């Protein structure tokens, strides 16, 4: 009895599960309400991988407090994160760095050009509950700055408006997204002169996925070198310059 080995070899593998810390992180990986689908740089990369290999990915809704444990338990396979944000980074393997992730402080008042975290002594910074902030951690631990945790990204601008914090800590893309909401679009928004941290984001995966990592790295490098990464980033998040001026739709 003859077997078509060639046909067997091209059978699609079981889809890999990619955890998304809901609602995602704009413009890397986020849930788009109008299309009811995940969009961003990571979905574009995964589509490129699917074209080039047998790797297929499905996105699974999660949150920062669960994603690492899900990865450890084998309930998901992949996660976009900086390793400093993990509790047990040594238990995972990582891809090549995908992109740099810059975190800034944001305020409704201009920053002095010589602003520094030391000059912000004892001031309150709204942060996302469960998130790690490498550039701010020691200031929080030494009580030089006060950390005010907020349960959602959407709630952070509201806390700033209500003066429950002096600054909010976000990456530049999230700040653009957060302050583009209708209730905040009339506000001028200022960005700190320097980021509090600038760290690479990796696709982190279970240690058993060594061969998968080799494939991801190969096509990730091609995705970067071909200009597709920059094109994807530009498509999802056009360049924005701070300070943001009020920009509500006049209609």
pLDDT at residue 248 is higher than 50: yes
Cα–Cα dist 193/31, whole Å: 30
Tell me which residue of 72, 67, 53, 57 sits closest to 18, measured CA to CA: 57
Out of 1-10, 89-98, 184-193, which region has the weakest mean confidence (pLDDT)?
A: 1-10
Question: pTM of whole model > 0.85?
Answer: no
Cα–Cα dist 207/205, whole Å: 6
Residue 171 lies in a domain: yes
6's CB contacts (< 8 A; 6+ apart) are none
Cα–Cα dist 72/67, whole Å: 9
Same domain, 94 and 145: no
Same domain, 91 and 52: yes
152's CB contacts (< 8 A; 6+ apart) are 128
Tell me which residue of 84, 181, 168, 72 sits closest to 134, measured CA to CA: 84
Residue 89 lies in a domain: yes
Total structural domains within the chain: 2
Same domain, 82 and 59: yes
Residue 109 lies in a domain: yes
Same domain, 88 and 125: no
Same domain, 20 and 68: yes
Q: What is the mean pLDDT of residues 118-124?
A: 93
Which structural domain range is residue 185 located in? Answer: 102-197
Residue 3 lies in a domain: no
Same domain, 27 and 90: yes
């Amino acid at each position: 009895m003859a077997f078509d080995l060639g046909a067997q070899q091209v059978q699609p593998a079981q889809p890999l599960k990619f955890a998304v810390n809901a609602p995602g992180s704009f413009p890397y990986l986020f849930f788009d309400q109008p299309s009811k689908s995940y969009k961003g740089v990571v979905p574009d990369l995964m589509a490129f991988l699917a074209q080039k290999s047998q790797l297929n990915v499905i996105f699974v809704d999660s949150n920062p407090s669960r994603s690492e444990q899900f990865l450890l338990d084998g309930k998901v396979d992949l996660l976009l994160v900086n390793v400093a944000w993990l509790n047990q980074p040594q238990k995972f393997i990582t891809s090549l760095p995908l992109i740099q992730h810059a975190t800034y402080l944001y305020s409704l008042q201009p920053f002095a050009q010589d602003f520094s975290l030391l000059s912000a002594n004892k001031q309150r910074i709204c942060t996302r509950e469960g998130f790690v902030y490498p550039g701010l951690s020691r200031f929080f631990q030494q009580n030089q700055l006060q950390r005010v945790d907020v349960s959602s990204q959407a709630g952070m601008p509201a806390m700033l408006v209500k003066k429950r914090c002096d600054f909010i800590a976000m990456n530049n893309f999230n700040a653009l997204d957060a302050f583009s909401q209708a209730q905040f679009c009339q506000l001028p928004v200022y960005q700190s002169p320097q980021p509090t941290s600038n760290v690479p984001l990796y696709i982190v995966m279970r240690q058993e996925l060594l061969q998968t990592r080799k494939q991801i790295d190969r096509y990730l490098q091609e995705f970067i070198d071909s200009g597709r990464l920059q094109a994807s980033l530009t498509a999802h998040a056009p360049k924005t310059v701070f300070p943001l001026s009020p920009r509500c739709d006049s209609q």
